[in-house]
């Protein structure tokens, strides 16, 4: 089973938060392999609680009911199970309606017992500390998970792995019987400017699981009533707030203060940082005035957003978020982690 490098932006972090907060027993369902086309790719996960509630999806509704029906049996047995769903046929399937999705989906279901629960909590801690984590699962002939390990650094791993740990993890990525996947921390979006057009962008970004920070020097705008879903609000001028932000190459920044002098200041200060994305709201001729003849940094973008003919704050927010997600996906595809010792 080959390694997949995509991230489940929406579900993974919500699953880990729910595991941390809930007192219910639960089962973690993960797609470990896909043949052909499918709604979700390998690495997508769904958490099903014993009361039937769910977080995340593995399909467009084709698999969830069947998987949820298996949860009581898996919780009672206390062991993992694997299932294969053949979605290539247009015939009626045993778990529901005609699908014809065109793919074969391999799913493992693991009871979140005490040991796995602690390891998932450690995974959350790593991701919260902006550390990428690779998961390796050994898939048995019956498609159950016989061993698993999380690798956070070259010599740091945790999990339930019997026997000697593999020395070259990258070889496992192309080996049959293994599932290897990388989990990434939430990307952070920093929005500078808390005007009305920043509100839908912040809300949409938070809904797609960006960690969102909004900064503005005007407390009447930069307050929780307008930005209920963001992780942080920073009130102050750029020279005050940027000192409080330790940025990384996993960060994205959008400048939309609509104040010419503040935009210039933010461009100058943020261009000195290694960000995945730095964009300035406004037309090209305004950007030229902002730069005042200085060369633009390679990661500086203006105008920003996918060209969809957006009008108004909501549509503009959609176009910007689409560009952020596109940039995020491309960055992830370009980066690989080599944990080989």
Cα–Cα distance for residue pair 247/263, rounded to 1 Å: 18
pLDDT score at 64: 86
> At residue 266, what are phi and psi to the nearest 5 degrees?
-70, -40
Question: Under 8 Å CB-to-CB from 164, ≥6 apart: which residues?
Answer: none
The H helix count followed by the E strand count for the chain is 9, 15
Question: Under 8 Å CB-to-CB from 23, ≥6 apart: which residues?
Answer: none
| 141: three-class secondary structure by DSSP | coil
pLDDT score at 19: 84
Residue 146 in tokens: 């016989």
Strands 103-111 and 81-86, sheet pairing: antiparallel
| 6: three-class secondary structure by DSSP | coil
pLDDT score at 35: 85
Cα–Cα distance for residue pair 96/66, rounded to 1 Å: 8
pLDDT score at 315: 97
Nearest alpha-carbon partner for 85 in 102, 110, 71: 102
Cα–Cα distance for residue pair 14/207, rounded to 1 Å: 11
Q: CA distances (Å), 301 to each of 60, 263, 275, 308, 310, in order?
A: 35, 13, 12, 17, 17
- For the chain, percent helix, then strand, then coil, each to nearest 5? 30, 25, 45
The contacts found for 231-239 with CB under 8 angstroms, 24 or more apart, are 231/206, 237/262, 238/192, 238/262, 238/265, 238/266, 238/269, 239/265, 239/269
pLDDT score at 172: 63
For the chain, 341 residues long, the average pLDDT of each consecutive 10-residue run is 41 84 88 83 90 86 87 94 79 47 84 92 89 88 88 79 69 72 90 97 94 96 96 94 87 96 93 91 91 76 92 96 93 54 33
pLDDT score at 341: 33
pLDDT score at 174: 55
């Amino acid at each position: 089973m080959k390694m997949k490098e995509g991230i489940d932006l929406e579900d993974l972090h919500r699953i880990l938060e729910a595991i941390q907060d809930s007192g219910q027993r639960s089962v973690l369902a993960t797609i470990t392999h896909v043949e052909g086309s499918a709604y979700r790719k390998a690495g997508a996960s769904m958490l099903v609680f014993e009361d039937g509630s769910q977080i995340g999806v593995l399909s467009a509704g084709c698999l969830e009911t069947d998987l949820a029906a298996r949860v009581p049996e898996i919780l009672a047995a206390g062991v993992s199970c694997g299932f294969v769903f053949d979605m290539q046929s247009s015939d009626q399937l045993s778990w529901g309606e005609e699908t014809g999705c065109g793919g074969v989906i391999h799913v493992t279901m693991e009871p979140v017992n005490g040991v796995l629960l602690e390891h998932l909590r450690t995974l959350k801690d790593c991701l919260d500390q902006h550390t990428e984590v690779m998961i390796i699962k050994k898939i048995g002939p019956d498609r159950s998970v016989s061993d698993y390990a999380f690798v956070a650094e070259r010599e740091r791993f945790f999990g339930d792995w019997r026997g000697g740990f593999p020395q070259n993890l990258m070889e496992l990525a192309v080996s049959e019987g293994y599932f290897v996947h990388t989990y990434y921390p939430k990307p952070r979006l920093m929005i500078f400017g808390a005007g009305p057009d920043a509100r839908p962008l912040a809300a949409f970004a938070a809904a797609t699981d960006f960690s969102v920070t909004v900064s503005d020097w005007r407390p009447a705008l930069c307050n929780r009533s307008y930005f209920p879903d963001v992780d942080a609000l920073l009130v102050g001028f750029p020279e005050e707030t940027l000192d409080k932000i330790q940025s990384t190459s996993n960060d994205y920044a959008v400048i939309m203060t609509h104040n010419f002098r503040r935009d210039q200041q933010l461009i100058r200060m943020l261009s000195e940082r290694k960000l995945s994305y730095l964009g300035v709201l406004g037309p090209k001729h305004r950007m030229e005035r902002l730069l005042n003849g200085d060369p633009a940094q390679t990661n500086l973008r203006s105008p920003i957003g996918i060209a969809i003919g957006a009008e108004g704050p909501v549509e503009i927010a959609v176009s910007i978020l689409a560009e952020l997600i596109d940039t995020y996906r491309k960055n992830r595809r370009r980066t690989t982690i080599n944990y080989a010792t």
